[in-house]
Amino acid sequence: MDILFFKIAFLAYFLSTIGYIASILVRRVVIAKTSTWILFSAFAIHTIYITFRWVKTGYNPVTNLHESLSFIAWVISGSYLAFQMKTKTRILGSFVSPLAFMLMIVASAGLGKVVSIPVILQGWWVAIHTILSLAGESLFALACMAGIMYLIQDNLIKKKKSYRFSRLLPPLGDLDRINHICVLWGFPLLTLGIIAGSIWARTVWGSRWQCDPKQVCTVISWFLYAFLLHQRLAIGWKGKKAAVLSIFAFVILLFAVVGVETFFVTMHSF
Amino acid sequence: MSIILIGMNHKTAPLNIRERLSISCEDNDALKVIKSISQVREAMYIATCNRVEVLASVEDVEKGLEKLKTFIFSHGNLSRGEMKECLYVYRDVDAVRHLFRVASSLDSLVMGEPQILGQVKDAYRHSVEQKASGIILNKLLHRTFHVAKRIRTETGIANNAVSVSFAAVGLAKKIFGNLRDKTVLLIGAGEMSELAARHLLNNGVNRIIFANRTYENAVRLANDFHGVPVGFDLLEDKLKEVDIVISSTGAPGYIVSEEMIVKALHRHKNRLMFIIDIAVPRDVDPAVEEIDNVYLYNIDNLQEIVDENLRSRIEEAEKAEAIISEEIISFTNWLNTLEVVPTIVSLKRKSEKVIERELEKSLSWMRNLTEGEREKIRILASSIVNKILHDPITSLKEESQNSGADPYLAAVIRLFRLEKGE
C-alpha cells in the first residue's frame, strides 16, 4: 500500500518537473501554475507515504538511504510550496521540482526494502537526530539554491545583459528573503539535530564528541551558518555576501553528509 | 453581403491628412452619414490619432465602396489623387484580418500598446448606440475582442517595457520584488525623471524625496507628487534613507560620488540600491557600479533594454499573426454558414407546418387517447422529421464551410418547394 503512494508521488514529481521545464521553454505561466499544483499533490501523496512508513516501522521514519532521500525531497518541496504561497517565485519550482525528482529516483532504488535496523540506531534520540538534521539540511539546500539564483540574477543585472533570461528569475529581494528565511529556520533545526545526536552518542559511544571527520565538517559548517546569521541579523548583511556564504557553508555541509565517507574513515557512516 | 474596410493610418497617410479627416468627421457625426448610404447595411467608424477607418457590411461591394470613397474624399476636403495614395481598402477576409490586427495592436505605431483595444470598443459602442451594427458586425466585433484578449494573454506582445521610464520601473521590480516599502530619491527635474517617478508611485512606492539645487523647484515637485522636498545640502544625508535614486540634473560633473554611496550603504545596513542616471553628462560616478548590492543604470543602458524589448515584441507578433489566421478561419466559417441559415430555417418551418397539419387531421381518432398518449405521438412525429432533416442540414452547413453551398441550396429549395423568405 505505502509503495503505491510512493510510486504515485514519484510520478507526480516527474510530471511537475516536465511541466516546469516546459513552462520555461515555451514561457507560458499556465503550465507553470499547473506544475505547481501537480507538485502540491506530489507533496500531499508523499506526506501520506511518509506517514504510512512511520506507522509501519514504528518509531523512526528516517533510517536508511531510501528514507533519508525521500524525506529530503519532501522537506524541500514542502518549503518551496510554502514560499510559493508567500512570494511569486514560481521559477524556483523549476529548480526544486527536478531536484526532488532526482532524489526520488535515487530513493526509489531502496524502495520497499525492509532493512533490519542495527541496535545502535534504535531509539528516540536517533529518530529526532536524523529528522531534525535532515530537515535543517534540506532547508540549507534550498537556501543554497536561492543563493545560486541570486548570484546569477545579480550578475545579469550588473552586467546589463540578457534581460530575457533575467526576466525568468525572481527578483533579487525575494531570493535574498528566501535565502534568509531558509537559513533562519534551518539553523535551529540543525542545532537541535546536532544536540540530539550528541546526547545519543554519549549513550552509545560513551562521549558526546568523537572528533570524527563527519562531526568536524558538520560543526565547521554550523559555525559558518551561525556567522552568516549573526552578520545578517546584527550587521545587516544582505544580498551577495550572504548568498556566497550560504553556498559555501552548504558545500561543506554536503561534504559532511555525503562526501566524508569517500575520503576519511568515519564511525558515523550512515 | 460583404465586409469592407476602408481607411488610412500612420503608415499610409501623413499627419496633416489624417488630422483633417478625423476632425471633419467628428464635427458632423460621420456614422450617421455613412449609415445613410443606401448600399451600407452596417457600419462602424474608428478615429484615433493614428488612424481613421470605416468598417461596413455592404450589399454590393463595388457600389458601396465607390460611395464610401466619395464620402471620405468629401469629408477630408482633399483631392482624389492625394487621398488615393493614402487610402487602403480591404475586403472580406482581408478586412477581418486588418480589424483583428488593429484591435490586437499589431498595426499600432508602438506595437502592443494597450489603448487601441479600448478605442475599438468605444467605436463599436457608438455604432451599437446609433443602431448601425447588425448581425455581422456584432459577431465580428465580439470575435475581434476575443482575439485581442487571446493575443494579449497568449503572446508576450504587451509584455516588457518599451519606454525608458517603464524600463526603469521594470528593473526596480527585478531588483526589489515588491516596491511597497521603498523610498525614492529624485535628484534634479526633467520630463523623463518625473515620468519615472509617476510610474514608481503607481507601482506602490512608499515615498519620494525631491532634491533640487533650487529649493523652490523641489517644493513644487514635492507638492505635485505628495513627496518631501530637500535642498542639495542634505543630499548626502538623504542617500542613507533611500532604495532607488533617479538623477537627472544639468550639472557638468558628478553629483553622486562613490564615497557617498559607500557611506550611505554602510549606514543603510548594506541594503540593495538601484541608481538610475538619466543625465547627460552623467551625474553619478560610474565607479559606483563596482560596489556590491548597487545597480547603476544610465540612459544608454535603459535604451538598450527598450530596444531589446521592442525586438522581442516583433518576435511575439509572429505568434499573434498565427492566432489571427486561426481565428479568421473560424470566423469565415461562421460567415459562410450565414448564407445557408435562411434556407435551413424555412426548411424547418415547413416541416413543422406539415407535422401540425397532419396532427390536426388525426385529431378525430386521437380523441380516444389520453393527453399523455397524444403528447407521445406528437413527440414521435417531430423526432422522425428531425432525424430525416438532420443529415441534409448538416451537409448544407458543411458545404457552406467550403463555400460550395450554392448548388445544394438551389436543390434544397427546388426539391422541398421552399418559397424564398418563407
**For residues B146 and B121, is the Cβ–Cβ distance under 8 A?**
no
B231 strand-pairing partners: B212
Residue A210 and residue A144 in one domain: yes
Of A157, A167, A241, Cβ closest to residue B292: A241
Give the whole-angstrom CA distance, residue A7 versus residue A112.
11
pLDDT tens readout for residues B210-243: 888 888 888 888 888 888 888 888 888 888 888 9
Q: Tell me which residue of A182, A164, A166 sits closest to B295, measured CA to CA.
A: A166
Of A27, A171, A236, Cβ closest to residue B156: A27
Find chain B residues with C-beta within 8 A of A243's C-beta.
none
Domain for residue A202, yes or no? Answer: yes
Cα angle for residues A48, A197, A195 (degrees, 5° grid):
105
C-beta atoms of A235 and B269 within 8 A: yes
SS3 of B361-402: HCHHHHCCCCHHHHHHHHHHHHHHHHHHHHHHHHHHHHHHHC
Cα angle for residues A251, A256, A257 (degrees, 5° grid):
100
Residue A261 and residue A137 in one domain: yes
pLDDT tens readout for residues B392-407: 888 888 888 777 778 8
- Give the chain B residue whose CA is nearest to the CA of A176: B176
Give the whole-angstrom CA distance, residue B109 versus residue B250.
31
Residue A109 and residue A57 in one domain: yes
ipTM: 0.77
Residue A157 and residue A236 in one domain: yes
C-beta atoms of A236 and B309 within 8 A: no
Nearest-neighbour CA in chain A from B393: distance (Å): 39
Any catalytic annotation for residue B25?
A: no
Residue of B15, B23, B49, B415 with catalytic role: B49
C-beta atoms of B295 and A164 within 8 A: no
Which architecture does CATH list for B164-303?
Answer: 3-Layer(aba) Sandwich (3.40)
C-beta atoms of B177 and A237 within 8 A: no
DSSP state of B89: E
Selected residue of A159, A161, A167 to mutate for chain B interface (largest B Cβ count, 10 A): A167
Grid cell at residue A16: 511537475
Of A160, A173, A238, Cβ closest to residue B177: A173
Residue A193 amino acid letter: G
- Give the chain A residue whose CA is nearest to the CA of B295: A158
pLDDT at B421 over 50: no
Domain for residue A127, yes or no? Answer: no
Find chain B residues with C-beta within 8 A of A238's C-beta.
269-272, 293
A179 touches chain B (CB under 8 A): no
pLDDT band per the 50, 70, 90 thresholds, residue A1:
low
Q: What mean pLDDT value characterizes chain B? A: 85
Selected residue of A238, A240, A241, A244 to mutate for chain B interface (largest B Cβ count, 10 A): A238
Of A28, A166, A239, Cβ closest to residue B293: A239
Domain for residue A159, yes or no? Answer: yes
pLDDT at B374 over 70: yes
Find chain A residues with C-beta within 8 A of B270's C-beta.
235-239, 241
Residue B376 amino acid letter: K
Give the whole-angstrom CA distance, residue A190 versus residue A188.
6
Residue A89 and residue A197 in one domain: no
Question: Which residue among A92, A117, A142 closes a domain?
Answer: A117
Residue A141 and residue A269 in one domain: yes
Selected residue of B174, B294, B300 to mutate for chain A interface (largest A Cβ count, 10 A): B174
Centre a 10 Å sphere on the Cβ of residue A185 and count the other Cβ atoms it contains: 18
- As annotated, the residues of chain B forming the CATH 3.30.460.30 domain(s) are 2-159
- B394: CB partners within 8 A, 6+ apart: none
A184 touches chain B (CB under 8 A): no
Find chain B residues with C-beta within 8 A of A158's C-beta.
289, 295
pLDDT tens readout for residues A84-105: 877 766 777 888 888 888 888 8
Domain for residue A16, yes or no? Answer: yes
Q: Which domain holds residue A264?
A: 132-270
Domain for residue A124, yes or no? Answer: no
**For residues B389 and B397, is the Cβ–Cβ distance under 8 A?**
no
Residue A101 and residue A18 in one domain: yes
Nearest-neighbour CA in chain B from A229: distance (Å): 14
Residue A48 and residue A168 in one domain: no
| Region of B115 on the Ramachandran plot (φ > 0 left; ψ -120 to 50 alpha; else beta) | alpha
Residue A95 and residue A166 in one domain: no
pLDDT band per the 50, 70, 90 thresholds, residue B25:
low
| Region of A105 on the Ramachandran plot (φ > 0 left; ψ -120 to 50 alpha; else beta) | alpha
Question: Which residue among A85, A117, A149 closes a domain?
Answer: A117
A87 touches chain B (CB under 8 A): yes
Query: Which has more pLDDT, B26 or B164?
Result: B164
Number of independent structural domains in chain A: 2
Q: What is the pLDDT at residue A53?
A: 77
- Give the chain A residue whose CA is nearest to the CA of B305: A163
pLDDT tens readout for residues A64-87: 667 777 888 888 888 888 888 777
pLDDT tens readout for residues B62-78: 888 888 888 877 776 77
pLDDT at B125 over 70: yes
pLDDT at B413 over 90: no
Find chain B residues with C-beta within 8 A of A167's C-beta.
160, 174
- Give the chain B residue whose CA is nearest to the CA of A174: B177
Of A87, A172, A236, Cβ closest to residue B270: A236
pLDDT tens readout for residues B66-116: 888 888 777 767 777 777 788 899 988 899 999 999 999 888 888 888 888
Give the whole-angstrom CA distance, residue B383 versus residue B380.
5
Q: What is the pLDDT at residue A121?
A: 62
A236 touches chain B (CB under 8 A): yes
C-beta atoms of B271 and A240 within 8 A: no
3-class DSSP assignment, residue B236? helix
CA distance readout (Å), A222 to A226, B247, B356: 6, 44, 91
The verdict on domain B2-159 having CATH code 3.40.50.1110 is: no
3-class DSSP assignment, residue B237? helix
Interface of A with B in 138-157 (CB under 8 A): 153, 157
Pairs of CB atoms within 8 A across A/B:
61
Residue A150 and residue A81 in one domain: no
Interface of B with A (CB under 8 A): 154, 156, 160, 171, 173-178, 269-272, 289, 292-293, 295, 297, 301, 304-305, 308-309, 312
Residue A183 and residue A76 in one domain: no
Query: Which has more pLDDT, B334 or B324?
Result: B324
Question: Which residue among A54, A86, A117 closes a domain?
Answer: A117
C-beta atoms of B175 and A173 within 8 A: yes
3-class DSSP assignment, residue B293? coil
C-beta atoms of A235 and B270 within 8 A: yes
Of B156, B160, B175, Cβ closest to residue A157: B175
- As annotated, the residues of chain B forming the CATH 3.40.50.720 domain(s) are 164-303
Give the whole-angstrom CA distance, residue B278 versus residue B246.
7
Give the whole-angstrom CA distance, residue A217 versus residue B306.
49
Share of chain B above pLDDT 90, in %: 16
